[in-house]
Chains A and B, each alone.
Chain A
């Protein structure tokens, strides 16, 4: 593990240099909020941001993505046969990603990279990407990454971690991929490791001290799944939900998708689009039967998936990194922190009366 110092000049030069070998993604301001976008020509990442409005998952996993192309023209030899299209396979660099968002890719990887099947679209994009993180000096009041397996200076899922230092950045190079990227960028001015560790340690401690919000997850694994499923609080939690997909679309760890065919003339594509468990259509059978036909069951599915099913399936924490986006953007203020608390504290034995929460 090495440390390098990047001053403002080197920073700008480095980002430009990277664009020659990478597709560079970074936060840019759009209106009031920041979003991760592919940086064009002389565009620089705008690093003065709290967190982006949408998560950066689209850099790896676009909202709408062509899987295959085909022709339905029967005069062609290969009619009706699906083919993988040529793609831009230039490596990607995601610059300025927050540690919580970077960690989310590791959670999502569990879904797309399994012993039995590998999702080639996600995995190829993921493998081709170098993640350059940016430590979080000022967490939002609704962030709770420190109690969701991550932290403002957490290194999991990152190849490089940047922190503000003097007029530029200090970079901690964490992986070979990170080393290749910093070299390509010309960020090679070594910095004393002992001193750097101290800077990183102090910054992390200061930032962690600022967290106002947290969740407890210690009991989730032990409460039987069916007890939580049958808990009386779901109707109350779900009441205000309007079943829009906002939470799922903003969430860095929501990965569900739909597969659709579209043709223009004889030219067809099979593509996949983000989908949402909040939509009734998500589970609707051809017969009209719907296993999650009501709102309560869909809301329950979202929280059970993140806070129980995932916990049970992988035995490695919750499917949430504490970025707080769903809390901030839910139009009706359903708060995963509150739901998590209710689930974590749930005692099926003590259920003798209705559990309407007091707020």
Chain B
């Protein structure tokens, strides 16, 4: 899926929409997701209602969150296009912009620029079994994907989700995870690296191990989407290899330092491709032919 085209009438030399100009949004709600308080989910509403329509996205895409005076950060969209009236982003506090964002409050005005990048290959995934494997805070676009698939349940085969974090308190979207566990039209496998909580009723173990135990066998119709820290990916990949998943059916989402988000500023390239525009979603088969500059 290619990035959505911006409107332009080049003949007049008149650029109708400036791809660097964020849509103004208001922070509608902020939820602290994890016990270390480093992850917060921000819900935004568009100040100009017509912008919501222009911001038409699919799960897997990202956007630049823009804070005046600080800058922009690329963040995966955590809400699903099936959820209307708002968009959601879960932000880890690491740098200048994200730290400032964490100090902002509901009602504040900022900007969102996007949607950017490709999405997970939803056309290809139609009618297929999907295994979602996520770790830590890289679960945001996976949440988007799960909600989207559940809303369009008849378009997909079996759905497996394996999601792990270090401790129960570090899992994102706690309530939703539990609701998904309860459903019988998907297989949810929550896991933590370890816990001393006697009431923990889900899995304990690293994501690769749980993947080995719970992932369905590979076949032509089964795709895996992996998103997580490098170490998780490194150890999950051999597991999927053992299970027989073809590399063109392993789908990954990358991150690199970005500024423009539209393939122009030059920093996020991996070989000739840009993570911001040609990605962030690539199949493992594609990544095998690219430099490991991510």
Q: Which residues of A contact B (CB under 8 A)?
A: 67-68, 70, 72, 79-82, 84, 111-121, 123-124, 127-128, 225-226, 229, 255-263, 268, 270, 272, 275, 277, 282-287, 289, 291-292, 297, 301, 304-305, 308-310, 312-313
Contacts of B269 in A (CB 8 A): 301, 305, 309
The smallest beta-carbon distance between B140 and chain A, in angstroms, is 15
Q: A116-B3, A116-B6, A118-B6 are in contact. Are A257 and B13 (CB under 8 A)?
A: no
Residue from the list A80, A121, A283 in contact with B68, Cβ < 8 A:
A80
Inter-chain contact B109/A81, CB cutoff 8 Å: yes
Q: Could you tell me the distance between the alpha carbons of A84 and B24 in the complex, rounded to whole angstroms?
A: 14
Inter-chain contact A309/B272, CB cutoff 8 Å: yes
A-B contact list, 20 entries, CB within 8 Å: A80-B24, A80-B109, A82-B21, A113-B10, A114-B263, A116-B262, A117-B277, A119-B20, A120-B15, A256-B267, A258-B265, A259-B72, A263-B68, A268-B68, A270-B71, A275-B265, A275-B266, A282-B267, A286-B95, A289-B230
Among listed B185-193, B213-221, B251-259, interface-contacting one:
B251-259
Which residue of chain B is the closest to A226 with respect to CB atoms?
A: B289
Contacts of B72 in A (CB 8 A): 259
Inter-chain contact A261/B70, CB cutoff 8 Å: yes
Inter-chain contact B71/A229, CB cutoff 8 Å: no
Contacts of A286 in B (CB 8 A): 94-95, 98, 257
Inter-chain contact A84/B21, CB cutoff 8 Å: yes
Which residue of chain A is the closest to B22 with respect to CB atoms?
A: A82
Contacts of A305 in B (CB 8 A): 266, 269
Decide yes or no whether B157 CB sits under 8 A from chain A. no
Decide yes or no whether B182 CB sits under 8 A from chain A. no
Inter-chain contact B15/A118, CB cutoff 8 Å: yes
The smallest beta-carbon distance between B109 and chain A, in angstroms, is 4
Inter-chain contact B264/A259, CB cutoff 8 Å: no
Q: Could you tell me the distance between the alpha carbons of A111 and B272 in the complex, rounded to whole angstroms?
A: 12
Contacts of B155 in A (CB 8 A): none
Contacts of B262 in A (CB 8 A): 116-117
Contacts of B10 in A (CB 8 A): 113, 118, 123
Contacts of B80 in A (CB 8 A): none
Inter-chain contact A115/B272, CB cutoff 8 Å: no
Inter-chain contact B265/A259, CB cutoff 8 Å: yes
Q: A82-B21, A286-B94, A286-B95 are in contact. Are A261 and B267 (CB under 8 A)?
A: no
Q: A81-B109, A256-B266, A259-B265 are in contact. Are A117 and B21 (CB under 8 A)?
A: no
Contacts of B13 in A (CB 8 A): 123-124, 127-128
Among B81-109, those with CB < 8 Å from A are 94-95, 98, 108-109
The smallest beta-carbon distance between A181 and chain B, in angstroms, is 17
Which residue of chain A is the closest to B64 with respect to CB atoms?
A: A259
Inter-chain contact B272/A225, CB cutoff 8 Å: yes
Inter-chain contact A261/B69, CB cutoff 8 Å: yes
Residue from the list B19, B109, B268 in contact with A117, Cβ < 8 A:
B19
The smallest beta-carbon distance between B266 and chain A, in angstroms, is 3
Q: A256-B266, A261-B70 are in contact. Are A291 and B110 (CB under 8 A)?
A: no
Q: Could you tell me the distance between the alpha carbons of A10 and B230 in the complex, rounded to whole angstroms?
A: 67
Contacts of B291 in A (CB 8 A): 226, 229
Contacts of A292 in B (CB 8 A): 293
Inter-chain contact A112/B264, CB cutoff 8 Å: yes
The smallest beta-carbon distance between B61 and chain A, in angstroms, is 13
Inter-chain contact A117/B257, CB cutoff 8 Å: no
Q: Could you tell me the distance between the alpha carbons of A139 and B87 in the complex, rounded to whole angstroms?
A: 57
Inter-chain contact B256/A283, CB cutoff 8 Å: yes
Contacts of B265 in A (CB 8 A): 256-259, 272, 275
Contacts of A123 in B (CB 8 A): 10, 13, 15
Decide yes or no whether B66 CB sits under 8 A from chain A. yes
Most chain B CB atoms below 10 A, which of A259, A260, A312 = A259
Which residue of chain A is the closest to B5 with respect to CB atoms?
A: A116
Contacts of B294 in A (CB 8 A): 291
Q: Could you tell me the distance between the alpha carbons of A80 and B21 in the complex, rounded to whole angstroms?
A: 12
The smallest beta-carbon distance between A104 and chain B, in angstroms, is 15
Q: A81-B109, A283-B256, A291-B294 are in contact. Are A268 and B6 (CB under 8 A)?
A: no
Contacts of A285 in B (CB 8 A): 255-257
A interface footprint on B241-280 (CB within 8 Å = 1, 0 otherwise): 0000000000000011101101111111111100001000
Q: A81-B24, A112-B264, A124-B15 are in contact. Are A258 and B259 (CB under 8 A)?
A: yes
Apart from A297-B293, A308-B272, what 8 extra A-B contacts exist at CB < 8 Å?
A80-B24, A120-B15, A229-B291, A259-B71, A260-B71, A261-B70, A262-B69, A277-B267
Most chain B CB atoms below 10 A, which of A262, A283, A304 = A283
Residue from the list A111, A112, A118 in contact with B8, Cβ < 8 A:
A118
Inter-chain contact B15/A229, CB cutoff 8 Å: no
